[in-house]
Amino acid sequence: MTTIETEQREAVITEARTWLGTPYHHHGRLKGVGVDCGQSLCAIYEAAGVTAPIDPGTYSIAWHLHRGEELYIEWLQRVGATRTEAPSAGDVALFRFGRTFSHGGVLVDSRTVLHAYVHQAVILTRLDEAPLAGRPVQFWTLWPAARDAVQASAQTTAEA
């Protein structure tokens, strides 16, 4: 991990923690007032300087219950994120709720996620406790070094 990546990951965690206690509000993005899980990620990574401004567009609060499109995955891929099997603090944890991977948060350490949870607020939850325990989870990274390692591994596997 480079010094820049380490500093960016620390900035993500620091910014994420400033959102703790912000009430849940669908499609909100105002610290202390209201935010949903997708908008919180956009705001956190933007404020930490990891991504340019992100506009996920309009989405229904219940899209994950009635549709099969992986909108959240599409949003992550649009900003250059890739899946990782070796997540680090600062990466995105994406959970399956309903039909799709539709709930996300910031991994603040190896077992804790900061996320905006419906009818509650931005909270910290361990991976092994409700409402996250037992749900399928994917980890996504926005850092090139991690992406390069994934691509190199895939290329080596393909060549074998």
- Proportion of the chain above pLDDT 90, given as a percent: 76
CATH number of the domain at 3-159, please? 3.90.1720.10
State whether residue 160 is helix, strand or coil: coil
Domain regions of the chain by residue span: 3-159
Query: What DSSP string runs through 25-56?
Result: -TT-EETTTEE-HHHHHHHHHHHTTSS-----
For the beta carbon of residue 101, count every other beta carbon within 10 angstroms. 21
Alpha helices in the chain (DSSP H): 3-18, 37-47, 63-66, 71-78, 144-159
Q: How far apart are CA 7 and CA 54, in angstroms?
A: 21
Q: Which residues pair with 124 in a beta bridge?
A: 114
What pLDDT was estimated at residue 96? 95
Mean pLDDT score of the chain: 90
Contact 8, 49 (CB under 8 A): yes
Tens-digit pLDDT profile for residues 95-138: 999 889 999 999 999 999 999 999 999 999 999 999 999 999 99
